Amino acid sequence: MEPAKSPIPNPSLGRNLESQTRPPSLIHSLHESRSSVLSLAANDDYIFSGSQNQDISVWDKQTFQLKDTLRGHHGSVLGLEYAKDKKWLFSSSGDSTVRVWSTETLQQLYVIHPYMGESAGDLFSLSWSPSSQTIFIGCQNTSLQWFSFQELQSKSPPSSYVEEGPVLTPTGTGTSTPTKLSSRKAHKFFDSYPQYERRPADIFANNVPGRSSPDSDRTDASGPGEHLGIPPSNVIDSAHYGYLYCMTLLNEGDRGIQLATGSGDETVKLWACDSGVPELVHEFDCNHGAVLALVSEGDTLYAGCQDGYVKIFDLETKTLVRTIIVQEGIDIIAMSMLGSDLYTCTANGWIKRWSASFDCTASWKAHEGIVLSSIITKTTLSETSFSFITGGNDEHIKVWEVTRPKARVASGTEEESRNENARNSCIGSGSFFDTMVYALTKFIMIPSISSDPAHREDCRQAAIWLRKCLGQLGAHTSLLATSEGTNPIVLATFEGSVSEKPKPRVLFYGHYDVIPAPSKGWNSDPFTLTGRNGYLYGRGATDNKGPIIAVASAAADLLSRRMLEVDLVFLIEGEEECGSKDFRKTVQKNKEAIGHIDAILVSNSTWIADDRPCITYGLRGVVHCSVEISSDRPDLHSGIEGGAVAEPMVDMVQLLATLTDQKRVVKMPGFYDQVRPQTDDEKQLYKLLSEVTNRPAELLSSRWREPSFTIHNVTISGPKNPTVIPGTVSAQLSLRLVPDQNLETIVKSLREYLQASFDALQSPNELKIEVKHTADWWLGDLDGHWFKALESAVREEWGIEPLRIREGGSIPSVPYLEKEFGCHALHLPMGQSSDQAHLPDERISLVNLRKGKAVIERFLLNATLDNK
């Protein structure tokens, strides 16, 4: 029996494009007898593989036959680094040494001992800088160490081992001070004799090149070597708060010599090395387990993490730009780059290839175990052919045929070509519109109905999915816990380029929950995004999942082009359709984590028509009230008790009748006193909107800027048949408020008026009044630079002046967020008036989705310029 398919979609935003391409062909397989392949390197002639059995195998590139074996290490060979300019091979090991080999003679040239010897622990990683002639070493004891060969340039490689010869110990300034070989301490394990000899360890016991103990069958066949020691001046202790598992030297361009190191502390650090001493210039937080692999391409750095995530950083802006979910929970052990193609190797033996648009273009089972190492090298066939070489703990080295991806060629006008070339030079040359629709397809699949307890877990999964989605698009994400029985809030921050000046911070508010979607009236499954005639149909397409994904895609696109210069903070709740329960308390509790906010952006409504973009600048407030009248008796029979008792229903009818007159004017004292008068500019606006919508201006005004009273329902106790006098009658009422009515004053006045009206009835029944929900009115700042930036963005994208509209409904969180963060809010509706929000066949047009994303990009750019 097959397991049930999870209703929650895979969180990865990388499309599976494997059917369009084929995985690389296996050229050859090499067997590393009884040992795992921990490290790999290659030059034009050889493939070098470092193994668990302490040896380095040298394989001929043309014949794939074993050429030689380099022996000398007494621990697993954890790292290999080829220095092309010197024709040297560096190897690091669990024996706390780095050895230097000639790739021409295959002889050992040097043995480098880290500072503190074996106390440095395993030496996990290496990186060679040709310009500074320095080898960098990442150590188990969390130190970063380095050795410079600049002072050895004039010396010839040693040809013989001198028992009492000098050990060259460079200082931090590059000078050398000779010391004796005896200065190296004996290693208690690697320099030990057999236990039965009861002899203390010494440096001649087992660990000296070219020698072996009388009782050892292991010899260092690779020849002599000179011992070099790293001084304390060439050490950064606690460079990380974890093992230095990986490192890579970045392109030595305008930034000079920069080294990136990755660690078990879940961070990547950048070090400037021009002065000869690495200086920390930036630290990236990965927050997805230990960083086990690092590769770079141009100005982009890729960090492979322990739990199956690849974090992608832009080195110019010092920002996280994307995240790839390779396979959750499966460690990424090794990575390689060929052009814009990324190859990820994981602990389950699988390899995946990712394109410049972060789509998976190939995946295959490469090893029967863990893929521990990988490199890409040119083949001997031609200058344009490449081999992707992988090593695993299945004792095999695999050689795969790979090709460099073709660069995208721009077409069209000269300006379009320049723009396209600029985009291709940055991260992620794929279409963010495709990513946006793909993400929305998955988002819609989750039935996150907050009003139905049966969908409580779906709501939680929607929050988890959205967090992962925003993280992949480049945000730093977290979930904010709410009280028991309510849905979590997603907090995500797209960080703008690192700058000395404070960056503007914009908060985008939205909600991932939706209302129920009964199948009646739908022409397709409401939780399957379906495209028809230019529209995408599905519950939440326009309210509010579509706008959330559009805004996130806009931020990701700007990040990829190094043009995001504001911090865009997402605050997405899961209770908006139920009155935003617990939202205020959670925001106040996490206000420090959210940070300072300069403006609030909302996209949670539709246009007034279908063919003219709009900006919403006002919302009415609301007071929801429950009124209950009950007697001290149970339900009665009207034929027996009718006329003999004071009926709660009669009281309720008379009470409700006191609230309005025959012209629907609310009779509460002072209800209209604070209503803001209509200005001449407003009258002109309503006249324009009347022409656009073919609706009377007075109708629009009454819906948007006039207060109102509504009776929603009246319910009774009992069986509801015509012979029963109900003992309890309840009514649900609401008031819609406008500027400048005071919410607290209106609530108090409503309570007092209802109680006074009921008391005037002199009824023996009991009245209960409960205000269940309130939301203040909101009016935007039409003269502020944020509103002007948004209006300009809409005008530029649509080529027409947007209409300024108001809404009769309420969004409780908007006025609250304004007050909480002390800034103005903006409301950009993306959908059309016919989008059927909350109704069957809810939809959003592809044009509006694409242009909505583009408007957000323009707005963020305009807002940045206005703040400069």
Domain extent at residue 316: 251-325
Quick one: average pLDDT of 291-317?
95
Q: Decide if 195 is inside a domain.
A: yes
- Asked, for residue 831, whether it belongs to a domain, the answer is yes
**Number of structural domains, the chain?**
5
**Given pLDDT bands bounded at 50, 70 and 90, which one contains residue 424?**
very low
Q: How far apart are CA 734 and CA 659, in angstroms?
A: 11
* Segment 81-104, tens digit of pLDDT: 999 999 999 999 999 999 999 999
- Of 756, 775, 794, which closes a domain? 775
pLDDT number for residue 579: 87
Mean pLDDT in residue range 709-728: 90
Q: Is residue 683 part of a domain?
A: no
The answer to whether residues 745 and 636 belong to one domain is yes
pLDDT mean over 736-763: 96
> What 3-state DSSP class applies to 798?
helix
DSSP codes of every residue in 132-181: TTEEEEEETTS-EEEEE-GGGTTSPPP-S--TT-EEEEE-TTS-EEEEEG
pLDDT at 209 over 60: no
Q: What is the chain's mean pLDDT, rounded?
A: 88
- On whether residue 685 sits in a domain, the answer given is no
Same domain, 463 and 525: yes
> Residue 582 domain-assigned?
yes
Would you state the pLDDT for residue 182? Answer: 38
The answer on 725 and 760 residing in a single domain is: yes
Pairing of strands 98-102, 46-51: unpaired
Residues 496-528 have pLDDT tens digits of 998 888 899 999 999 999 999 999 999 999 999
Residue 596 has pLDDT above 60, yes or no: yes
**480 lies in the same domain as 613:** yes
Report how far residue 205's alpha carbon sits from residue 173's, in angstroms, rounded to the nearest whole number.
34
Taking the C-alpha atoms of residue 63 and residue 380, their distance in angstroms, rounded to an integer, is: 10
Q: 452 with 588, same domain?
A: yes
pLDDT band at 239 (very low <50, low <70, confident <90, very high): very high
Name the more confident of 304 and 702. Answer: 304
Q: What pLDDT score does 549 carry?
A: 97
Final residue belonging to a domain, choices 173, 207, 238: 238
> Per the structure block, which two tokens stand in for 81?
């680094």
Same domain, yes or no: 290 and 369: no
Residues 598 and 652 in one domain: no
Position 489 pLDDT exceeds 60: yes
Alpha-carbon distance of 597 to 658, in angstroms, equals 45
What is the pLDDT, as a whole number, of residue 343?
A: 98
> Is 573 in the same domain as 541?
yes
Q: 537-541, 808-812, 831-835: which range is least confident on average?
A: 808-812
pLDDT of 351 strictly over 90? yes
Least confident of 40-54, 166-180, 425-439, 583-597: 166-180
- pLDDT-derived band at 411 (thresholds 50, 70, 90) equals very low
Residues 221-238: tens digit of each pLDDT = 344 678 999 999 999 999
Q: Are residues 369 and 256 in the same domain?
A: no
pLDDT, position 747:
97
Check whether 422 has a pLDDT greater than 80.
no
In this model, does residue 214 exceed pLDDT 60?
A: no
Tell me the pLDDT band of 15, cut-offs 50, 70 and 90.
confident
- For 484, the token pair is 């028991």
Is residue 62 in a domain? no
pLDDT value, residue 170: 40
CATH number, domain with residue 314: 2.40.10.480
Identify whether residues 770 and 832 lie together within a single domain.
Answer: no
For residues 434-452, give the mean pLDDT.
Answer: 95
pLDDT, tens digit, 9 for 90 and up, residues 655-679: 999 999 999 999 999 999 999 999 9
Distance separating alpha carbons of residues 83 and 73, to the nearest angstrom: 19
Q: What's the average model confidence in pLDDT over 110-133?
A: 95
Phi-psi sector, 519: left (phi>0), alpha (psi -120 to 50), beta: alpha
Close Cβ partners of 292 (under 8 Å, ≥ 6 residues apart): 245, 246, 262, 304, 305, 306, 331, 332, 333, 334
Task: Average the pLDDT over 585-607 and give the result.
Answer: 96
HSE of 478, CA atoms in CB hemisphere, 13 A:
10
CB atoms within 10 A of CB 346: 22
Higher pLDDT, 195 or 468: 468
Q: Is residue 213 domain-resident? A: yes
**12-21, 208-217, 767-776: least confidently modelled range:** 208-217
CATH number at 738 reads 3.30.70.360
Question: Mean pLDDT over residues 192-221, rounded?
Answer: 51
Q: Select the highest-mean-pLDDT range: 393-397, 405-409, 640-644.
A: 393-397
- Smallest CA-to-CA distance from 470 within 540, 543, 571, 563 is with 571
- Residues 595 and 633 grouped into a single domain: no
Name every residue whose Cβ is closer than 8 Å to that of residue 571 and which is 6 or more positions away in sequence.
489, 490, 491, 507, 508, 509, 510, 587, 594, 817
In this prediction, residue 867 carries a pLDDT of 57
- Report if residue 1 sits inside a domain: no
Percent of the chain at pLDDT above 90? 75
| pLDDT in the model for residue 638 | 80
- Position 858 pLDDT exceeds 90: yes
Q: Hey, is 688 helix, strand or coil?
A: helix
Task: Tell me the pLDDT band of 290, cut-offs 50, 70 and 90.
Answer: very high
Geometric angle at alpha carbon 61, from 338 and 399, rounded to 5°: 50
pLDDT higher than 80, residue 208: no
CB 399 within 8 A of CB 422: no
**Residue 16 pLDDT grade (very low, low, confident, very high; cuts 50, 70, 90):** confident
Q: So what's the pLDDT on residue 500?
A: 81
- Mean pLDDT across 398-416: 68
For the residues 171-186, what does the mean pLDDT come to?
41
pLDDT > 50? residue 164:
no
Which of residues 400, 429, 458 is at a domain's end? Answer: 429
Residue 403 has pLDDT above 50, yes or no: yes
How confident is residue 763, by pLDDT bands cut at 50, 70 and 90? Answer: very high
Q: Are 485 and 533 in the same domain?
A: yes
Question: Residue 446's pLDDT band (boundaries 50, 70, 90)?
Answer: very high
